């Protein structure tokens, strides 16, 4: 039970940092929308999304009995891409900032595990942080709206391929549910592989 509580706390604060990364990069590119909305803050209440931050994590927690991976998301940071100084790649930079933030968190705590003589329960806590930040970073790279991977994909689409964008948006909820049901095991495997590479 204590591990599950830690996991939920780590989930929420990790996705808060994920969203702050989006907003910070947008701000650095000339878009103050997230700042004016009060979203460049560590206050978790500013980022709470009822479905992604509460309902889905709790559903997965009880559905898997705490034995399966837990996913979720915070309320998306508002951005206005027309404010970006880099009109060509600004959206891509903002989209990829969130997963990179999760990977950097995982890398930092993973290297602490690797090089410091940690003992339980600190070792257990850091291990959860590393695994789940790798897992959530990978999850957000999946190219299904509203995940970051979709925005990254859309940055490369043009011409007739823009139809792909419309199709993904139209069926996004169905595709996301399918992926949560059938794809989380693969992401868990990849996250554990990255965990092993960093931690040793």
Domain that holds residue 100: 2-199
Could you give the residue numbers annotated as active site? 19
Q: Any alpha helices (H) in 29-121, and if so which ranges?
A: 33-36, 56-64, 90-115
pLDDT score of 55: 84
Phi-psi region of 71 (alpha: psi -120 to 50; beta: other; left: phi over 0): beta
pLDDT score of 66: 66
Query: Which residue, among 199, 147, 179, 149, has the nearest Cα to 69 in the 3D structure?
Result: 179
Name the domain count of the chain. Answer: 1
Residue 198 CB partners (closer than 8 Å, separation 6+): 106, 107, 110, 111, 114, 130
Two tokens, residue 145: 């709206």
**What is the value of pTM for the model shown?**
0.90
Two tokens, residue 34: 């997230």
List per-residue pLDDT tens for the chain, 200 residues long: 677 777 778 888 898 999 999 999 999 999 999 999 999 999 888 888 888 888 888 887 777 766 777 777 788 899 999 999 999 999 999 999 999 999 999 999 999 999 999 988 899 999 999 999 999 999 999 999 989 999 999 999 887 788 899 999 999 999 998 998 899 999 999 999 999 999 98
pLDDT score of 162: 83
């Amino acid at each position: 039970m204590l591990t599950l509580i830690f996991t939920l706390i780590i989930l929420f604060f990790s996705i808060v940092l994920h969203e702050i990364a989006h907003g910070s990069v947008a701000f650095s590119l000339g878009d103050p929308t997230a700042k004016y909305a009060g979203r460049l803050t560590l206050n978790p209440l500013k980022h709470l999304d009822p479905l992604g931050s509460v309902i889905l994590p709790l559903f997965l927690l009880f559905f898997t009995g705490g034995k399966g991976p837990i996913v979720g998301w915070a309320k998306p940071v508002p951005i206005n891409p027309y404010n970006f100084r880099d009109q060509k790649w600004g959206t891509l930079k903002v989209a990829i900032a969130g997963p990179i933030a999760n990977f950097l968190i995982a890398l930092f705590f993973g290297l602490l595990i690797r090089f410091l003589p940690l003992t339980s329960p600190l070792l257990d806590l850091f291990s959860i942080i590393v695994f789940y930040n790798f897992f959530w970073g990978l999850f957000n790279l999946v190219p299904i709206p509203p995940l970051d991977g979709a925005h990254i994909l859309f940055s490369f689409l043009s011409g007739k391929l823009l139809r792909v964008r419309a199709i993904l948006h139209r069926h996004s909820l169905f595709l996301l549910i399918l992926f949560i049901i059938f794809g989380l095991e693969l992401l868990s495997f990849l996250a554990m592989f990255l965990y092993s590479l960093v931690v040793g």
